[in-house]
Structure 1
Amino acid sequence: MRRGQDPVLVEVSARSRRGAPQQMPGDIATSALARRVNAARILAKLRERPPERAEMSSGDLVDATGMSRPTVHAAAHHLVELGWVRETTDRVDGRLSGRGRPSRVFSFVANAGHVLGIDIGAHSVRVAVADLRGVFVAEARIAFGDPSVGPEQRITQVRKLAVEVVRTAGLRDEQVLAVCVGTSGPVDADGVVQQRTGIPGFLGVDLRAALARDFSAQVYVENDCNLALIGERWRGRAGASQDVVCLLAGERLGVGMCTGGTLVRGQANSARDLGFLSLMGDYSRDDGIARAVRRRGASLVAEVAARDTPPLPGTPGAELSALTGGDPRRVSASDVFEAVRRGDLDAAGALEEGLETAARAIATLTMLLAPELVVITGAVAAAGDVLLPPLRRRLTELVPRVPRVEASPLREQAVVTGAVRLALDTAETDFLDPLAPAPTA
């Protein structure tokens, strides 16, 4: 056996040289298995390459896999036929350039298929299409004019946006290999929402069936907090962490958890239930950071407006009142965060009060799971500079050992990012792992 030659192919070649009168069924099976195994190794190496260095010469693949050059060529040619790999001769192999012999160069065809991620919320829906490297090629978001819109109208808008984004990317239906939809609340294996969520009327809705009307690809439905965690582990703060709590903390509190690198689902995929907060007194999972801070900020502005004289610049409450024109109805969480940045002490107090429910949820989960990292995600993560310091201080008062607490760089894109990642996993399982032909083959 020559050094670097694939042992399976050597065995098959030896049989052929012995002059067997005919190829037996076992030989055919072994040859097919060898071709599949070798092609999978080549595909894995090509997929590992970053987009800016996507190409590998046959010499590069020989070095990377330890296989012989003829075996590399045979496996790569099979992948070219399947549509997952592209071959060019634009480079010259450095080891062969003295003879002027062009090298065969191969690269993964990332646009041979695409995946679709969808994040359905109470106030908006976000959709993203990505190629097989996970590069977003088209995305869009729309806000629901009425957050209390019924499920039929909401799903109609979601379907319309999803189809439009796929068309914007220039794709046909068969080029979408997998679809993943995120929504709040526990979701069963059939894609049906099992408990009351923050989205009106979604209890009992079959999201898989609804989205399957427009796409022939497999549709996967997952809880939005789980997807936020998956997104954080893929492209956010939690890539190097095995024990993580991801708190989706906008209007409501939701949590995704993993221990030992494994997503915690629990019975009926309902392990994220923060209903225990109601046992602690006047706390509720409905008190997300954004909602709680906004309410307290509105109360503060109302108190300032009720005073006999307008607040002087630099006095407590003055900055938040100025930002909102003294109108409590105009107060947003972003206004409170900005007032804190400007040194408004009353706004800082409103922020600390608004963080209390989240702090108690994190403290309880810390005692139970001992995570190394807690990620605050969702739109409020953009205010990490002002909300993390008081949150960390409060945690030191509640638990003896405080985990690392960070704000997500993905922010409001965490859920759709996780949806794309889960759709990619599905596409890999259904198409790349079995080496099925690409839609563009």
Structure 2
Amino acid sequence: MQKYYIGADIGGTTIKMAVITEDGSIVEKWEISTNHKDEGNHIPEDIQSSLKSKLVELGIQKEQVLGIGAGAPGFVNADSGFVYQTVNIGWRNFELGSILNEKTEFPVFVDNDANLAALGEKWKGSGENSNDLIAVTLGTGVGGGIIANGEVINGVNGTGGEIGHITVIPEGGAACNCGKTGCLETIASATGIVRLAEEAISKNPETSLVELSSNGLTAKDVFQAASAGDKQAREVLDYVTDVLGMTIANLAIACNPSKIVIGGGVSKAGEDLLIPLRKAFDQYALPRTSEACEFVIAELGNDAGVLGGAFLVKQNLGLE
């Protein structure tokens, strides 16, 4: 009898869900809106209701489902499925794992959403089953997941791998949503790149970024301006890749990965991002660390989280 995993990637706007075979093929994927009512307390029920309907539609019996792997955007105790806090949903000290288990009657395993994306890339993406990798997601914020010896690093209370909140500017840095200042997220995220570009505009009104900013500046605009030869845009990106490359190099010295997987919207810049980032990394990393490490762009896009959820079930059930 065919068995299946369920992946659930819980975001602030939507919840991505998928039915996935044991070998990692997506049978069906869909989304539901994230219900913020009552501080997100109805989300497990919404997942259960949507999943039940989808399994009936697909003709999948309860005994064919091996379990649910769910990702939450916040600090998570992966051993218990306990979510300490999610800023963009409203959960605080929320028993997601046990509540979802009670609602669905399936085994449920929970981890941080960025960690699941790392697991997804390891299993079916550009991670190519590397047991030692660092995944960095450059989007509105900066997410990260670190896999060492085949296991996600969670830490003692769920903050392991929070790459975006490494301090890169000790004094005078921009405020971060986490409450600190000077975090990597304030520099290397799409939001950070735009902020730095706007600062460059205020100092250099001749830059081509001025015209682009009239319609709302984006990180993509900054990369395009740099490629077209705009000096200020190039300086912004040189600074961003230098800070990001140094941060990743320091992490790599600690965990010695074979892969650095770069994902998120900013990664769509491709070689325009990877080439200067790799140059900065090589400058700051130990030569022996650097020679063993490959930089790659993430392959799975929005499917990384649900596939990582499936792999989390597979891993916890000892089915690797």
| Fold shared per TM-score above 0.5 | yes
Query: Which blocks of at least 5 consecutive residues in structure 2 are unaligned?
Result: 174-181
User: Distance in 1 between the 2:201 and 2:45 partners?
Assistant: 39
Tell me the alpha carbon deviations over residues 212-248 of structure 1, each in whole angstroms, 9 at most, x when there is no partner.
3542211111122322222122112222534321223
Identity level (%): 23
Q: TM-score by structure 1 length?
A: 0.59
User: Distance in 1 between the 2:243 and 2:41 partners?
Assistant: 33
For residue 119 of structure 1, report the CA deviation from its aligned partner. Answer: 1.0
Q: For the Cα contact (< 8 Å) 1:159–1:211, is it kept in 2?
A: yes
Which of 208, 215, 220 pairs up with 2:97? 208
Tell me the alpha carbon deviations over residues 387-406 of structure 1, each in whole angstroms, 9 at most, x when there is no partner.
11221222233334334222
Tell me the alpha carbon deviations over residues 298-349 of structure 1, each in whole angstroms, 9 at most, x when there is no partner.
4456778xx5xxx7xxxx425x734x5x13xx33333334444555443333
Which is worse superposed, 272-281 or 407-416? 272-281
Report what 1:395 is aligned to: 281
Counterparts of 1:134-153 in structure 2, within 5 Å, are 134-141=24-31, 150-152=39-41
User: Distance in 1 between the 2:58 and 2:82 partners?
Assistant: 29
Tell me the alpha carbon deviations over residues 89-125 of structure 1, each in whole angstroms, 9 at most, x when there is no partner.
xxxxxxxxxxxxxxxxxxxxxxx23221011123432
For residue 186 of structure 1, report the CA deviation from its aligned partner. Answer: 2.9
Aligned residues: CA RMSD: 3.4
- The alignment partner of 1:267 has SS state of coil
- The alignment partner of 1:277 has SS state of coil
For residue 272 of structure 1, report the CA deviation from its aligned partner. Answer: 1.9
User: Distance in 2 between the 1:142 and 1:342 partners?
Assistant: 40
Report what 2:108 is aligned to: 219
Report what 1:126 is aligned to: 16
Larger Rg: 1
Letter in 1 for 2:16: R
Which is worse superposed, 368-377 or 351-360? 351-360
For residue 129 of structure 1, report the CA deviation from its aligned partner. Answer: 1.0
Q: For the Cα contact (< 8 Å) 1:163–1:214, is it kept in 2?
A: no
For residue 407 of structure 1, report the CA deviation from its aligned partner. Answer: 1.4
Q: TM-score by structure 2 length?
A: 0.78
Letter in 2 for 1:292: G
Which of 264, 269, 272 pairs up with 1:386? 272
Relative contact order higher in (CA < 8 Å, ≥ 6 apart)? 2
Report what 1:317 is aligned to: 208
Which of 335, 340, 352 pairs up with 2:221? 335
Report what 1:81 is aligned to: none
Which of 139, 142, 145 pairs up with 1:256? 145
Counterparts of 1:182-331 in structure 2, within 5 Å, are 182-184=71-73, 185-194=75-84, 196-239=85-128, 241-274=130-163, 275-277=165-167, 280-281=170-171, 282=173, 283-287=182-186, 289-299=189-199, 307=205, 316-317=207-208, 321-322=211-212, 326-327=214-215, 330-331=216-217
For residue 383 of structure 1, report the CA deviation from its aligned partner. Answer: 2.5
Q: How many residues align?
A: 304
